[in-house]
Chain A
Amino acid sequence: MILNDTSIAEIKRRMAPYPRRKSAILPALTVAYRQVGHLSNEIYREISDIIEVPYIEVAEAASFYTMFPKEPVGKYLIQVCHNISCALLGADSLISYLEEKLNIKKGETTSDNLFTLVSVECLGSCASAPMMQINDSYYEFLTREKVDKILAELKQQA
C-alpha cells in the first residue's frame, strides 16, 4: 500500500457529504497527492478500492487535471506562475534565476531530489506578482533576496 492510514481515513472523511461515491475522486486524488507528491496507477487502484468506483474512472479523471504530477517530483515542487500578471513583472526572469540558483532547467529536479522547478498557469495571485507556489504554500511579491531566503530556509528544513 502506498496510501497511509491517515490518508485513507481522510479520504473516507471526505467521501461523507456526497450522495454519489464518484464525487469523491478529486478530493481523494488531492489527499493522495498531498501525501505522496505525485499520482500513479497504483494510487488510482488504491483510491478505486477505498471509494468503490472502477479503477478506470479514477484514472480517467486524474489524467485530466494537470495540477497533479504523474511522475515523482522533488521534496519541494516549485511552481512559478508565468501567466500575464506575473509575466508583466518578471516571471520569466524569476524562472531563469531559479534555474541558475538550483542549477537545473525548468522541468527538472535537483540531483539531491530536493527541488523540482516547473512553470504553471495563473495561480490566482495576480496582485501579488511575481509569485510561486512551493508545495501548498504561496510565496508572493518575490524579489531575488526573498527567493534566496526561501531556498535557504527550505534547504535547512530538509
Chain B
Amino acid sequence: MEKKILFKYIDDPNQINIATYIDHGGYKAWEKALRGMTPAQLIDEVKKSGLRGRGGAGFPAGLKWSFVPKDSPKPRYLICNADESEPGTCKDRVLLEHDPHAVIEGMAIAAYAIGSHLAFCYVRGEFAHPASVMERAIEEAYRKGMLGKNIFGTGYDLDMAVHTGGGAYICGEETALLNSLEGERGMSRIRPPFPAIEGLYSCPTVVNNVETLASVPPIINNGADWYASMGTEKSKGTKIFSLSGHVKRPGNYEVVLGTPLSFLVNDLGGGMLDGHKLKAVIPGGSSTPFLKPEQIDTPLDYESLAAAGSMLGSGGVIVIDDRTCMVWVIERLIHFYKHESCGKCTPCREGTGWLEQIISRIEQGEGKPGDLEKIDSICDNILGRTICPLGDAAVMPIQSALKLFRDEFQYHIDNKKCLVKSEFEFK
C-alpha cells in the first residue's frame, strides 16, 4: 500500500524553504538526537528500525555506522551518495529537489552518530538544479544554526558542502565515489579496508544513499519500533519506487515494503500503456534480473524479490510490454555498462565490450551459431571477478534474458531479424 513518509510534503513547493520545513516538524529529530541521545543510542535506534541502504545493496544502515572505529584519532567523514545513475531509478533527485532539508537533517544525524564534523553531498554532475537547491538549503541551515559551530549550544560542530560529480555511473559505487571526491579518476578500490575504516583521505567514512539518509529523521522522531512495524520481517519501513516504461502513470511512488508489484504497476501506475500486454518487469534498476508477467504479484521487499530470482536494488521498476524485443533491451543495457565500466578490472573492461559487440551483432541480424554459448561463457567469466559490482550488474540482466527469453535471441540468429518488431515512436 502507498504510505507517504518521505513524500509527506513532496508536493508542497515551499518545502524547500527551511521555515516551511520547520513548520512541518523539520529539524526536531536533529535537535532530539543532538541534545538527548548519544551516538551509540542513535546507532542502536537505526539498527533496531531495520533501515537498509536504499542505494541498491540493501546493507543495514545502523550496522554500517557501527563499523566506524570509536577510538580512531583521525577525522571521520559522512557522505551522502546523490550520484543517482542506475537506469530506471530517479527517486533521489525528487528528494533533493523538493525536500532538501530532509536530506540535510538525515546527513547531520548520521554525521553526529559516527562522530563526523564534515559531511559532503556528492551530487551527480548532470543534476545542476538539485545541486543548487541543496546548496541553497545548506546555506539556510547554516543561517538557522542547524549547521556550523556549537549547534543547539551543545558544543558540536558540523560543516556540510555539496560536491558535484562528472556524470560517471561508477561513482555511485562508494569506493569509486571516494576516489572521485579526492580528485582522482572514479575507479573502485579493493576492499578491505572498507570505507568505515579507511575511506575519504584514508579516514573512517560512511557513505549512505539520499533516500537512506532522508529516512533517518522520521525514525528518530517516531522511534525504531514505529518504523519496524511497517514492512516485512527483513524489509522494514517504506521505499520509493521509480516506475517507468510502458505504464499509463509513470512516477515515483512511496509504498510500504512488501506491497505487491501489481499494486504499484496497476493501481498506482494505472496499468499498461496503450492496452498492450505485460512482457517483463525489471524490479530494481537496470542491473537486476527480469520478472515475468506471472510474477506480477511478487511483494516488493528484499527477501521476496530474491526468492523470485531478482533483487530490490535501487527500486527502479521498469515495465516492458509485448511490443518490445528483448535483444534490443539487452543491447541497450550492455551498451550502458560497457560505456560506464571504469576500466580497472580486465574482465569488466574487456568483457562488457566483447558482450556489446556480440549482442549488437545479433540485434542487427548478423548473429552466428555459437554466439549464445559465447555470451554465456563471457558472463561466467565476469560474474564475481571484479573489484566492484559493476561487472555483476552488467551480467545479471543478460543472464536473466538468456534464461527467460533465449528463444528470442535464437530467433534473431536463425532468422536475422526480431521475433517482435519494436516500434516506439515518440509522439
Using a CB–CB distance below 8 Å, which chain A residues touch chain B?
16-17, 19-20, 22-27, 29-30, 34, 53, 57, 60-68, 82-85, 87-94, 97, 120-130, 133, 136-138, 142-144
Contact in complex: B125, A129 (CB < 8 Å): no
Cα A36 to Cα B92 with chains together (Å) = 29
B residues less than 8 Å from A136 (CB atoms) = 128-129
Say yes or no for B90: interface residue by CB 8 A criterion.
Answer: yes
Q: Which of B26-34, B36-44, B221-229, B246-254 contacts A (4 or more CB under 8 A)?
A: B246-254
Shortest distance between the CB of A78 and any CB in chain B (Å): 13
Cα A132 to Cα B121 with chains together (Å) = 25
Say yes or no for B340: interface residue by CB 8 A criterion.
Answer: yes
What would 9 more interface pairs be, CB under 8 Å, given A124-B84, A130-B426?
A17-B159, A30-B164, A66-B168, A83-B286, A84-B318, A89-B426, A121-B336, A124-B90, A126-B242
Contact in complex: A22, B87 (CB < 8 Å): no
Neighbour of A27 across the interface among B93, B129, B164, B426, CB < 8 A = B164
Cα A16 to Cα B120 with chains together (Å) = 12
Cα A87 to Cα B424 with chains together (Å) = 8
A residues less than 8 Å from B339 (CB atoms) = 66, 121
Contact flags B103-136 to A (C-beta < 8 A → 1, else 0): 0000000000000001010001111110000000
Shortest distance between the CB of A27 and any CB in chain B (Å): 6
Shortest distance between the CB of B218 and any CB in chain A (Å): 23
B residues less than 8 Å from A29 (CB atoms) = 166
Contact in complex: A85, B244 (CB < 8 Å): yes
B residues less than 8 Å from A63 (CB atoms) = 185
Cα A27 to Cα B92 with chains together (Å) = 21
A residues less than 8 Å from B93 (CB atoms) = 124-125
Shortest distance between the CB of A138 and any CB in chain B (Å): 7
A residues less than 8 Å from B89 (CB atoms) = 124, 126
Say yes or no for B376: interface residue by CB 8 A criterion.
Answer: no
Shortest distance between the CB of B338 and any CB in chain A (Å): 10
B residues less than 8 Å from A121 (CB atoms) = 85, 87, 169, 336, 339-340
Contact in complex: A124, B85 (CB < 8 Å): yes
Interface positions, chain B 138-169, Cβ under 8 Å from A, are 159, 161, 163-169
A residues less than 8 Å from B120 (CB atoms) = 17
A residues less than 8 Å from B201 (CB atoms) = 19-20
Contact in complex: A89, B183 (CB < 8 Å): no
Contact in complex: A142, B168 (CB < 8 Å): no
Contact in complex: B336, A127 (CB < 8 Å): no
Neighbour of A26 across the interface among B118, B169, B183, B426, CB < 8 A = B183
Shortest distance between the CB of A15 and any CB in chain B (Å): 10
Q: Could you show 28 A-B contacts with beta carbons less than 8 Å apart?
A: A20-B201, A23-B183, A25-B183, A26-B180, A30-B166, A57-B183, A61-B185, A64-B166, A83-B286, A84-B332, A84-B333, A84-B336, A85-B87, A88-B246, A89-B424, A90-B426, A90-B427, A93-B424, A122-B336, A124-B127, A126-B88, A126-B242, A126-B316, A127-B242, A128-B90, A142-B426, A144-B426, A144-B427
B residues less than 8 Å from A20 (CB atoms) = 182-183, 201
Shortest distance between the CB of A25 and any CB in chain B (Å): 4
Between B183, B318, B329, the greatest number of chain A beta carbons within 10 A of the residue's beta carbon is seen for: B183
Contact in complex: A127, B340 (CB < 8 Å): no
Shortest distance between the CB of B89 and any CB in chain A (Å): 7
Contact in complex: B168, A65 (CB < 8 Å): yes
Between B118, B245, B286, the greatest number of chain A beta carbons within 10 A of the residue's beta carbon is seen for: B245
